Structure 1
Amino acid sequence: MAFIGTLILILVATTIAGHFSARVGIPAVIGELLIGIIIGPGVLNWVHNSSALSVFANIGVILLMFMAGLESNLAQLRKVLRPALAVAVCGVILPVVLMGGVSLAFGYHFTEALFIGVVFSATSVSISVVVLREFHALDTRAGATILGAAVADDIIGVLLLSLMVALIGGGAGEHGNTNMGLQFLFQVGFFVAAYLLVKWIAPMLMRISERLLIPTARTVTAVVICLGMAYLAEVVGLSGAIGAFFAGIAVAQTHVKQVIDDHIEPISNAFFVPVFFVSIGLNVTFAHFVTSLPFIVLMTILAVVTKWWGGEIGARLTGFSKSGSRVVGTGMVARGEMALITAQIGFDAHLLANGLYVDMIFVIVFSTLAAPLLLRWALSKDDATAVSTSDK
């Protein structure tokens, strides 16, 4: 029952924080992230991450990415394949080179420095999705490029992570290369399954659900598709968020898209998503913050600018306007759960020492806090309408 009390505290606090965030003109997710820091070990020490809380947070990010896929235009995603790949590649190279190089200058071992770069090559667009939806910019060339680049970015990041863990960390061993090759084949199989889901499986399942004599059959079927793809993605070593995103795209191709949207969005935004954003803030503690402050500040700045510049360069190289490129670049800044998961895997594989791991959490949280503000600024400068017209 203690978890129920924790859940009540989170929901009440995030609702109030969301209200005041809206009053001062900042995204509600900023308030939710700050609530996590305030009620967590960093300040009041009322709430700690637990297995139950992690489950709710994971469901939150899965549903959030499912809704993003549901609102994504598949035809538009196909059109932005080239810019999405360019944005992803540029957004991986800059953090690995610059942040890894600066880490070496701070005296960290080459392996640690390289892994820091890998951690910050990850992108989590969950927060960007919230801001894009607020500006009705998901179904634009810029919005589609951000989502497509995040998918490519995640794949590249997973391959780099797998390589490092297999060759250097806990995964190294006699069968390390074989396991890595097998995992890559499984990941290829996942994308084949995603294609089949979009093309045939999801439409067939949704047609079957309409024949069931249960009012919620269509919604339940959509949720099963969402969770099933998230689970499959996790099994093959990808993020569950990627699976949920493809599940959303698949359901969006059916004629019940709007019904699913209307049924899932309220419970997602009211219940699971706030827990996800709070869980990020709960990772912050201030035990060694002062001594690590120079490193944290510099790495936070680099975390922001390397993704921003990388995304903007990739967008400009593929024909975006200056303002549209700025939207894409700022939309790639957030790290969120993807970087946290990568850092945790590295810590478990002994690629990061405990103190460095905590510093990474600070940088991830601070750069994630900056991300929605920067994206909101970029969309405001672009006036959202300009994104919808000039960059379509």
Structure 2
Amino acid sequence: MPHAVSLISTLAAGFGLALVFGFIAARCKLPALIGYLVAGIVIGPATPGFVADAEIAAQLAEIGVMLLMFGVGLHFSLADLLAVRKVALPGAVVQMAVATALGCAAAMLWGWSFGAGLVFGLALSVASTVVLLKALESRGRLDSGDGRIAIGWLVVEDLAMVVVLVVLPPLAGALGGQVAPTTQSLWWTLGRTVLEVGAFVALMLVVGRRLFPWVLWQVTKTGSRELFTLAVIVAAVSIAYGSSLLFGVSFALGAFFAGMVLRESQFSHRAAEETLPLRDAFAVLFFVSVGMLFDPTVLVEHPLRVLEVVLIIVFGKSVAAAALVLSFGYPLRTALTVSAGLGQIGEFSFILAALGVALGLLPVEGQSLIVAGALISIALNPLFFELSAPLGRLLAGVTRWAGLRTLASDPLAELPMSTEAKFLSRQVVLVGYGRVGRSIASALRQAGVPFVVADENREAVEQLRAGGTPAVFGNATDPAVLIQAHIAHAHMLVIATPETIEVRRMAEIARTLNPAIRIAVRSHNVDEARLLEAEGTARVFVGETELANAMVEHVLGAVAAPRAAPSRA
């Protein structure tokens, strides 16, 4: 053809082979993303045959990261982020320090310099945005308490890596690398970076929260679906690019805050639905681009080093994260969810590795090891998520048997002895204190109906107790949590969590302890709601159905009401 078609050929080969190998992986009962990674290896430069344009694939993958983080921001409020700051901020910093120390120690044992080891360890310390979010989405845990902690942890890691990428070039000379002479001091560079990031966050939260929802509303009034979709995509991509250009933050972080500010709009759910196909498609290209970076010869030349890298990523980081989450008083399930989600590396690792090689700090072999570790850890990540539940049950049984940690050892896991009697009998037990749970709690409080909240967010439980509302910390699938909420004497159980996959377990426990209890459940899925109601588990409320019923009731009432006679002058 007379013109270059590298973009078209990359898209065609990437999507086509991802479909083929993804289908094969799914038929073999493996995660489809393994097929996407294999597709990238096939069209990468390390294998014979057609070689796709790696630079174009990387940019397309970056768009996928932007759209994915934008979608997360649409479901993640500033309040959600602040609610997990006590565990996410110190947890992420300490976990990154542990992983960096492990990676640095391994590199220095191989004979590398301290500077090379530091860059190598930092690259192993930060998890992949795409892998974590896809794992949480596929398991319906994106809006859960565990999911919010993991996302908050990820945001802190992204912010830390922004600082690392900025201060590494001025430090390269002192660490043994090559750096162009500069008149700016390290403290000036660091201070400027902090000010730029702070200015970006302030601008998005103060100006963006008012401006972007207003713009989206103006576009919506045109009645054009194409313009609405275009406006959403422009907001995600342009804000991400502009934030990177003007403030030096990552594309992913910029897109995340763009989603957070657009969440204030009443059309946030529609925006999430409109971008879903694009997010899924470009997320596939991310995994394909990772596969293209992989050089299989590193497995033959340095198999033991690859094994050490994988162990640091999968076990070193995971154990450190789990221990930190447990140390903050969160349950074992939360610790395992967070540790499984962080047991891999991705896009920031590649960026840091490329910068390290360019500065003469990291040997090319180190970049190959990082890519190999990323590929293997990403492929293993779904397996560790699947094993987290049975492992949690096993460890919980062992700790209970050994008496190492019981539910009663946590003061937030049981109601205080001073709890008023009205909250212990004929009360409503409300499971989940998210957006829906808060609305229900507010209505019950105004109606004077006593209720007890059970939630997995420690900060939420602490705030409720400080405000005089009885609350129990823990997962309601654990019988001890509902027992502490006095479910045996309750009038009703209201399950307001988005994790409807666990509803049956909660309902079974409640009916075992209180056969006469009435149960109400929220759901996002019509088919799931019909199944639950057919089983007699509970009265299920589906968002779209309830909205339609309320509108129909209003319309019929308005039509049936007699019209007021027109006034005559």
The two structures have a TM-score, normalised by structure 2, of: 0.64
| Alpha-carbon distance in structure 2 between the residues aligned to 1:68 and 1:283 | 27
Give the equivalent residue in structure 2 for 1:284: 294
Shift of residue 329 of structure 1? 0.9
Q: Which amino acid aligns with 1:175?
A: Q
Partner secondary structure for residue 302 of structure 2: helix
| Alpha-carbon distance in structure 2 between the residues aligned to 1:227 and 1:38 | 29
2:26 to 22, 26, 42: 22
Q: Which amino acid aligns with 1:238?
A: V
1:41-61 deviation digits (Å, cap 9, x = unpaired): 333452244333222111111
Shift of residue 89 of structure 1? 1.4
State yes or no: 1:243 paired with 2:247. no
The question of whether the paired residues in 2 share the 8 Å contact of 1:122 and 1:153 is answered with yes
1:268-305 deviation digits (Å, cap 9, x = unpaired): 313x2211110011001134542222112112111222
The question of whether the paired residues in 2 share the 8 Å contact of 1:42 and 1:284 is answered with yes
The question of whether the paired residues in 2 share the 8 Å contact of 1:104 and 1:110 is answered with yes
2:130 to 126, 130, 138: 126
1:148 to 144, 147, 152: 152
Shift of residue 373 of structure 1? 2.7
Give the equivalent residue in structure 1 for 2:142: 138
State yes or no: 1:335 paired with 2:345. yes
Shift of residue 146 of structure 1? 0.9
| Alpha-carbon distance in structure 2 between the residues aligned to 1:63 and 1:338 | 16
The question of whether the paired residues in 1 share the 8 Å contact of 2:229 and 2:271 is answered with yes
The question of whether the paired residues in 2 share the 8 Å contact of 1:227 and 1:244 is answered with yes
Gaps (5+ residues) in structure 1? none
Q: Which amino acid aligns with 1:391?
A: E
The question of whether the paired residues in 1 share the 8 Å contact of 2:314 and 2:377 is answered with yes
Shift of residue 242 of structure 1? 0.9
Give the alignment of 1:31-70 within 5 angstroms.
31-70=35-74
Moved over 4 A (4+): 379-383
The question of whether the paired residues in 1 share the 8 Å contact of 2:75 and 2:143 is answered with yes
1:353-388 deviation digits (Å, cap 9, x = unpaired): 2222222222222223222332343257669x99x9
**CA distance 1:227–1:153, shift in 2 (3 Å):** same
Give the equivalent residue in structure 2 for 1:175: 184
**CA distance 1:310–1:172, shift in 2 (3 Å):** farther
**CA distance 1:2–1:243, shift in 2 (3 Å):** closer
The question of whether the paired residues in 2 share the 8 Å contact of 1:76 and 1:140 is answered with no
**CA distance 1:377–1:246, shift in 2 (3 Å):** farther
| Alpha-carbon distance in structure 2 between the residues aligned to 1:140 and 1:379 | 15
**CA distance 1:198–1:372, shift in 2 (3 Å):** farther
| Alpha-carbon distance in structure 2 between the residues aligned to 1:380 and 1:7 | 39
The question of whether the paired residues in 2 share the 8 Å contact of 1:71 and 1:252 is answered with yes
Shift of residue 252 of structure 1? 2.3
1:192 to 202, 206, 210: 202
**CA distance 1:363–1:100, shift in 2 (3 Å):** same
Give the equivalent residue in structure 2 for 1:375: 385
State yes or no: 1:9 paired with 2:13. yes
Which structure has greater strand proportion? 2
| Alpha-carbon distance in structure 2 between the residues aligned to 1:180 and 1:45 | 46
The question of whether the paired residues in 2 share the 8 Å contact of 1:91 and 1:121 is answered with yes
| Alpha-carbon distance in structure 1 between the residues aligned to 2:147 and 2:289 | 26
1:318-372 deviation digits (Å, cap 9, x = unpaired): 2221121010111112211111111111111221122222222222222232223
| Alpha-carbon distance in structure 1 between the residues aligned to 2:262 and 2:104 | 40
Partner secondary structure for residue 159 of structure 1: helix
The question of whether the paired residues in 2 share the 8 Å contact of 1:165 and 1:172 is answered with no
**CA distance 1:199–1:179, shift in 2 (3 Å):** same
Gaps (5+ residues) in structure 2? 394-430, 435-453, 458-569
**CA distance 1:26–1:247, shift in 2 (3 Å):** farther
Compare CA radii of gyration and give the structure with the larger one: 2
Give the equivalent residue in structure 2 for 1:310: 320
| Alpha-carbon distance in structure 1 between the residues aligned to 2:367 and 2:88 | 30
Q: Greater relative contact order (Cα 8 A, min sep 6): structure 1 or 2?
A: 1
Partner secondary structure for residue 259 of structure 2: helix
Give the equivalent residue in structure 1 for 2:484: none
Q: Which amino acid aligns with 1:133?
A: E
**CA distance 1:324–1:56, shift in 2 (3 Å):** same
Give the equivalent residue in structure 1 for 2:269: 258
The question of whether the paired residues in 2 share the 8 Å contact of 1:76 and 1:141 is answered with no
The two structures have a TM-score, normalised by structure 1, of: 0.91
**CA distance 1:182–1:137, shift in 2 (3 Å):** same
Q: Which amino acid aligns with 1:57?
A: A
Shift of residue 73 of structure 1? 5.0
Partner secondary structure for residue 368 of structure 1: helix
The question of whether the paired residues in 1 share the 8 Å contact of 2:161 and 2:348 is answered with no
| Alpha-carbon distance in structure 2 between the residues aligned to 1:54 and 1:245 | 19
